[in-house]
């Protein structure tokens, strides 16, 4: 499947005016899991040629899920059966998921895209990469990203890409200024970026498409498109804090509208976002999210509910977020 050809000349921020994309008829790969069967549209990650499901499996997991590897295994295989081929995974900060994920993906490794993040210092990077290959029982990691970039770190990943140990090099940042600087300094080496994108935290478009400079941080997403750099969207549900806020406001489910499905369908509208990946810690979350990807068109009722929730979040002046996630408001359309 080719990368979606539509590119927006005017990059819209408003929920009410965003275009709706039709679902694509991609075939489902089966592996013996027990999830709902369906198809998920695939998009090409920038200029890499790597096809990724527009809905992916996020890496964050809570302690309960971490302590239940059999459930996690069933969740991964259910997602794969449902059309997901993109799996993000952490091994640091106590997550220790490389080996379990490797076991879960073993039967269909060549049909899955593994996404990981480099966390060690420069002198330990090569050992980190080689160790990941062992833990995953594979010859290559599809997408490896850096949180902190310098010449040596980019050089190490480039060397491993040339050796076939990595297919795509990425960068992740929690602010647009840093990411724009990464594009300035290392844009020729980067295959993709990972940035927050949801119905509220969706900064990164031109603030004024007719009058902007390359240093306008609101031009991040179209700049990536122009450079052929892929875009992975993180925090599609505001790091789950939007779900918490929706529950407090009795907005989780309204009639036929489920707020989590609406949040994901908002992101699917934007062909610039190659894949979005929420964290999932229960089988119910996996199945609900798969339903959103199988029928990705967003309804007027869903748009209205998201608008209301965005207004509520804006009114709290960031108080709905825990302190360690307050940085997300820097990505909000409606700046506090």
Residue range 32-58, pLDDT digits in tens: 333 345 699 999 999 999 999 999 999
Q: 3-state DSSP call for residue 101?
A: helix
- Residues 6 or more apart from 159 whose CB is under 8 A from it? none
53 and 85 in contact (C-beta within 8 Å)?
Answer: yes
220 and 158 in contact (C-beta within 8 Å)?
Answer: no
270 and 276 in contact (C-beta within 8 Å)?
Answer: no
237 and 243 in contact (C-beta within 8 Å)?
Answer: yes
Cα atoms found within 13 Å of the Cα of residue 263, Cβ hemisphere only: 29
Q: CA 213, 269, 73: angle at the middle one, nearest 5?
A: 115
Between 21-35, 134-148, 185-199, the lowest mean confidence (pLDDT) is in: 21-35
Average pLDDT value for the chain: 86
The predicted pLDDT at position 36 comes to 41
245 and 312 in contact (C-beta within 8 Å)?
Answer: yes
212 has pLDDT over 80: no
The burial class, CB within 10 Å (0-12 / 13-18 / 19+), for 12 is: middle
Q: Give the range with max mean pLDDT: 16-20, 23-27, 221-225.
A: 221-225
DSSP 65-92: HHT-HHHHHHHHHHHHHTT--EEE---T
- Residue spans of the domains in the chain: they are 42-320
Assign 133 a pLDDT band (cuts: 50, 70, 90).
very high
Phi, psi for residue 262 in degrees, rounded to 5:
-60, -40
Task: Give the separation between CA 135 and CA 125, rounded to whole angstroms.
Answer: 15
116 and 89 in contact (C-beta within 8 Å)?
Answer: yes
**Rg, the chain, Cα only:** 19
Assign 130 a pLDDT band (cuts: 50, 70, 90).
very high
pLDDT tens per residue, range 276-308: 999 999 999 999 999 999 999 999 999 999 999
**DSSP annotation of 234:** E
Q: Which of the four CATH numbers 3.20.20.100, 1.10.10.10, 3.40.630.10, 3.40.605.10 does domain 42-320 have?
A: 3.20.20.100
Nearest to 9 by CA among 220, 291, 303, 210: 210
Q: Helix 241-248 vs helix 300-315: angle between axes, to the nearest 10 degrees?
A: 90
Which H, E and C letters describe 23-46, residue by residue? CCCCCCCCCCCCCCCCCCCEEECC
pLDDT tens per residue, range 149-166: 999 999 999 999 999 999
β-strand partners of 72? none
pTM for this model (two decimals) = 0.87
Query: Where does residue 9 fall: left (phi above 0), alpha (psi -120 to 50 degrees), or beta otherwise?
Result: alpha
The predicted pLDDT at position 177 comes to 85
């Amino acid at each position: 499947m080719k990368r979606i050809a539509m590119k927006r000349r005017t990059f819209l921020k408003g929920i009410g005016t965003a275009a709706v994309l039709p679902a694509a008829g991609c075939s489902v790969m089966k592996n013996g899991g027990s999830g709902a069967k369906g198809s998920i549209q695939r998009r090409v990650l920038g200029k890499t040629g790597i096809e990724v499901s527009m809905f992916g499996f996020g890496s964050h997991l809570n302690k309960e899920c971490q302590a239940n590897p059999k459930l996690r295994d069933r969740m991964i295989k259910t997602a794969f059966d449902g059309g997901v081929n993109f799996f993000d995974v952490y091994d640091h900060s106590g997550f220790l998921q490389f080996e379990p994920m490797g076991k879960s993906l073993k039967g269909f490794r060549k049909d899955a895209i593994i996404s990981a993040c480099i966390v060690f210092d420069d002198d330990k990077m090569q050992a980190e990469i080689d160790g990941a290959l062992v833990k995953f029982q594979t010859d290559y990691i599809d997408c490896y990203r850096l949180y902190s970039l310098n010449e040596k770190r980019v050089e190490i990943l480039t060397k491993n890409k040339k050796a076939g140990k990595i297919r795509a090099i990425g960068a992740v940042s929690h602010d647009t200024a840093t990411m724009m600087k990464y594009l300035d300094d290392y844009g020729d080496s980067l295959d993709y970026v990972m940035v927050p994108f949801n119905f509220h935290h969706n900064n990164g478009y031109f603030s004024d498409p007719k009058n902007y400079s390359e240093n306008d941080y609101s031009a991040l997403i179209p700049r990536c498109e122009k450079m052929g750099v892929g875009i992975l969207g993180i925090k599609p549900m505001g790091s789950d804090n939007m779900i918490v806020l929706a529950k407090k406001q009795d907005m989780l489910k309204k009639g036929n509208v489920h707020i989590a499905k609406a949040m994901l369908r908002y992101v699917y509208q934007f062909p610039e976002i190659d894949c979005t990946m929420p964290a999932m810690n229960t089988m119910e979350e996996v199945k609900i999210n798969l339903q959103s990807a199988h029928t990705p068109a967003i309804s007027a009722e869903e748009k209205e509910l998201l608008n209301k929730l965005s207004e509520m979040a804006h009114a709290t002046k960031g108080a709905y977020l825990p302190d360690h996630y307050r940085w997300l408001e820097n990505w909000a359309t409606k700046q506090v």
